[in-house]
Structure 1
Amino acid sequence: MYTIGEFSNIGKVSTKMLRHYDKIGLLKPNYVNPDNGYRFYTKDQVQIILLINKLKRYQFSLQEISNLIHNSNDNRTQLIKLLNEKVKNINAQIALYKFLLQDIEDEIKRLKNGGDIMPSKRNFEIKIDEQKVISVVSIRKTINMEEIGSVIGKAFQTIHENGLEPAAQVMTKYYDENFDPESADIEICIPVNKTIQNLTKDFGGFTYVHTTYVGPYSEIGEAYAYLTDWIKDNDYEIIQPPFEKYIKGAESGCSPKEFITEVCFPIRKK
């Protein structure tokens, strides 16, 4: 057997992380001395820690890794499925970085040609509509915003597993009063073609003001500011958290300059 220190060196994992794996049930020591609490690991567990390291490098979450290791029902098929999803996600990230590189190069050219450092101010068209009640599959979670793609993916997986079909654009609802991109309380909502008890929920039944923003998400704040000012200036009040509808995004393969997002605020007259 190996002590936790020896196993830490073998697996290139800190003892703190090994204790965390034990706590969440991912990898428990083979034996714990009842007198002093010392943890011991076996030779057979070396392959497990190496597998965990490999899957973490492939950007698997600890929950995904735990499901694979502890699920004896054809985990090979499940691993292939998850690996294909990772390939898809990584290719999407590569595409975004290519667009980002092009944007940076274009920005350098613009500045060299005398362009202003600050982005140009835009005018937005404001519309007021009624959001009818629709059925959505939703996932509410506090996440780092870089993880939003995986949450959307899980929502689509739920839709497909239950024989549903998406009926409109993906939406994200933002619950935080003070937005923190590293810890954002969001809800992904995907409209679907029918209602299923304990699976779908109602969305809508309110008046909302909205505008269309075209461009990268990093500059969408201008649309939020424009709408916030319009609401104040026209004696409305916000009655629910704002949400976004993704009309055209990364999945279309277009440049972030061409992303189309509908920014929406549920409102009522004061």
Structure 2
Amino acid sequence: MYTIGQFSKIGNVSTKMLRHYDKIGLIKPTFVNPENQYRYYEKHQVQDILKINRLKKYKFSLDEIKQIIKDKSNSTLEKFLSKQISLFETEIQQSNNILLHLKHSMDQLQKGEDIMNSKRSFHILIDTLKDTTVLSIRDTISMDNIGNLIGKVFENIYKSGLSPLGNIRTIYYDQDFDQNSDSDFDHNNADIEVCIPVNRQLKTDTVSTKVLKGGLYVHTTFIGPYSEIGEAYAELLDWINKNSYKIAGPPHDEYIKGPDSKCSHNEFVTEVYFPINKK
């Protein structure tokens, strides 16, 4: 047997943390001396503590680690590994995007350009949009995970034998632009619907298309990274207020040119739409 101090050195974990593991039932000493409450661990538990350390390096929570260790079939481990791989892939992609943005900014700065003040101009248009048949998924997610939601919609389209017919749209239901509202927009818990136009209507047990109602919209084209698209929103809101219109529903973005086109994020093209009515 090993004392808690010896086991602490073997497992490279503090005695305080070992006591916490005991408390939550993650790894318990095999024997506790009733006279002095000293804890003792056995040799077979060395693999257990090493396994816990490895799973912590994978950024699993202690609750997730408990579930993994409890399930001897490894199905829980496979599920959590898949989730964690997806999470890290998303984080890596986000970091790569930031790195590209930083390098581009440095290049502009070295050329003497003003990188902190935008020189964009916007052309505001009004159009009546037609009804559109779409396949969509609505979910409350982080704005950083919109790409995953888009992928799921495309997966449902191809599984159902449908064909995409137009640009991807994202509708933002909780971006409340009512002048009388002071509600906050939560970047990490946004109510978003990803819609992709399809060639026909369909209703099955698992997949159903819907019709996006058309109507009067004011819109403008934004060229640049999604992180700066707020400029287009500001221009449209100013135009709506100055021209005696009111917002008639949630806004949406339509992606004209994005990451799939293999261009720089500074060349992304997005059309921003607001449904409107006359006051």
| TM-score computed with the length of structure 1 as normaliser | 0.71
Partner Cα separation in structure 2 for residue 166 and residue 173 of structure 1: 18
Instruction: Quote how far apart the aligned CAs of 1:91 are.
Output: 9.1
Q: How does 1:6-21 map to 2 (within 5 A)?
A: 10-11=51-52, 12=55, 14-18=61-65, 21=67
Secondary structure of 1:106's counterpart equals: helix
Q: SS at 2:158's partner residue?
A: helix
1:182-261 aligned within 5 A: 182-197=188-203, 199-261=208-270
The residue type paired with residue 265 of structure 1 is F
- Aligned residue identity for 1:5: I
Q: Could you tell me whether the CA contact under 8 Å between 2:105 and 2:115 is conserved in 1?
A: no
Aligned residues: 220
Partner of 2:160: 162
Give the match for residue 174 of structure 1.
172
Distance 2:49 2:209 in 1: 45
Identify the match of residue 59 of structure 1 among 86, 90, 98. Answer: 86
Asked if the contact 2:109–2:115 (Cα under 8 Å) also holds between the matched residues in 1, the reply is: no
Q: 1:90 to 1:146 in 2, by over 3 A?
A: closer
Paired with 2:211 and 2:186, the residues of 1 have a C-alpha distance of 27
Distance 1:90 1:145, change over 3 A: closer
- In the TM superposition, 1:26-175 aligns within 5 A as 29=70, 44-45=72-73, 47-48=74-75, 51-52=78-79, 54-59=81-86, 96=97, 99-110=100-111, 113=112, 115-116=113-114, 118-175=116-173
CA distance in 2, matches of 1:102, 1:143: 29
Q: CA 1:60–1:215 in 2, change beyond 3 Å: closer, same or farther?
A: closer
Cα displacement (A) at 1:183: 1.2
Which secondary structure state, in structure 1, belongs to the residue aligned with residue 216 of structure 2? strand
Q: Relative to structure 1, is the Cα distance of residues 49 and 206 closer, same or farther in structure 2, using a 3 angstrom cutoff?
A: closer
- The answer to whether the 8 A contact 2:254-2:271 is kept is yes
- Which of 249, 272, 279 is matched with 1:263 structurally? 272
Separation in structure 1 between the aligned mates of residue 83 and residue 152 of structure 2, nearest angstrom: 19
| Contact preservation (8 Å) 2:245, 2:277 | yes
SS in 2 for 1:5: coil
Q: Which runs of 4+ in 1 moved over 6 A?
A: 89-92
CA offset at residue 185 of structure 1?
Answer: 0.8
Q: Which runs of 5+ in 2 are unaligned?
A: 1-24, 29-47, 177-183
Query: TM-score w.r.t. structure 2 length?
Result: 0.69
* Per-residue Cα deviation, 1:107-152 (whole angstroms, up to 9, x for no partner): 4325xx3x44632343211111111011001111111111111100
Q: Match of 2:85, as an amino acid?
A: Y
Check conservation: 2:108, 2:115, Cα contact below 8 A: no
Q: CA RMSD in A?
A: 2.9
Deviation (angstroms), 1:213: 0.6
Match of 1:4 in 2: 26
Greater Rg, structure 1 or structure 2?
Answer: 2
